[in-house]
Amino acid sequence: MKPYHVYWKGPVHKASGLGRASRAYAQALKRQGVAVSIGASNHRKNGVQGKKVLIYHHIPSSIQWQKERSVYDFIILNTVWETSRIPKGWLPHMNKFDAVCVPSRQNKGTLRNSGVKVPIFVVPHGVNTKEFHPNNKKMSVPGAAGRFTFVSVFGFQHRKNPEGLLRAYWEEFSSKDNVMLVIKTNGYAAHENEKWIQQKILQYKKRLGIQKDTAPVVIIGRRLSENQLKGLYTLGNVFVLPTRGEGVGLPFLEALASGVPVITTSWGGQMDFLTHSNSFLIPYQLRSPSSSMNRAISKKFSNLFVQKGQLWAEPDLGSLKKTMRKAYQNPGLCKQKGRQGRKDMFHLSWDRAGAFMKHAIEEVIRSKK
């Protein structure tokens, strides 16, 4: 293979899960011995040898084709999607890339079913099992000591199903149960701060007419440090997120690496690595995203998710309640599944992701000779 240089354009400076993944992919490629520059570079002055490859890790419809094609020999999209079909506006752009990398087998099927014709490579996410570890010091949350703790980490949007999680918890547990639910979340606009999210959740509880003395819920809507986030996972006896759709589900990987089992919907990119041995999996029905939007308590992103032919999973609320109760009553089973989850995560390193991506890049270069 003749020399080539990769230019990575993605949300590498963002604190989100997408930003963390973007940084991790770029660094993993570097560790594979690939020459990688992050962001735009002055190609004519930096003495780059060989072919120039752009990895574009942004929304496909935002690329400036004329500009990028004048600079790069190959352009590869790195993307992710969460429903059964990609947004219509993406498709014409996707077929102009030399190839597309996605993080799960479900994503590959979704792109093919949506009409993507260019080569598609599955380049899975990884997780750092040295950073996310069962021995990480637990985050301090008032009242959590001695309680069985459910932990959840997600952006405050409808796809993540916060209303399903909260309703199941409120209906299943009362103050007589020695439990707590700790939710780490974030809004998407300046006004969507911790207080705003807490208010939305309170209004939802009133709307449901839940009067009984429910078990405590702690809402963390501010940014946590890396150490706090790692300690939030280890605070949990179990991680719970009844999501409607995931391309991967980075928090699932991080929870399992921390030795904490997962309760989640059995549909989505996470099914590449979740099993009955490391998780509690909830049955679902595939539904149009629009069918639940009128009950939303969080950001809808309906411009992306309410398009013709799109489906995602609506997890069964009764099963979620029973499963949360089962986890609470069987802490030993949770520990067993958590130990298995950690073992499974040793096989999902970011170095492996880097090797998959390097292979994809070199296949594209070879095929275009």
Q: Residue 117: pLDDT above 90?
A: yes
Q: Residue 45: pLDDT above 50?
A: no
pLDDT in tens, 161-172: 999 999 999 999
| Interval 21-40 mean pLDDT | 92
pLDDT in tens, 276-303: 999 999 999 999 999 999 889 999 999 8
| Interval 1-22 mean pLDDT | 90
| Interval 212-236 mean pLDDT | 95
* DSSP helix, strand, coil percent of the chain (3-state; round to 5): 40, 20, 40
- The per-residue pLDDT for 252 is 98
- The per-residue pLDDT for 41 is 55
Cα–Cα distance for residue pair 180/189, rounded to 1 Å: 28
pLDDT in tens, 54-113: 999 999 999 999 999 999 999 999 999 999 999 999 999 999 999 999 999 999 999 999
- Write down how long the chain is: 369
Cα–Cα distance for residue pair 181/239, rounded to 1 Å: 10
- The per-residue pLDDT for 295 is 86
C-alpha torsion 361→17→116→2, nearest 10: -10
| Interval 249-273 mean pLDDT | 97
- The per-residue pLDDT for 369 is 67
pTM of the full structure? 0.94
- The per-residue pLDDT for 211 is 78
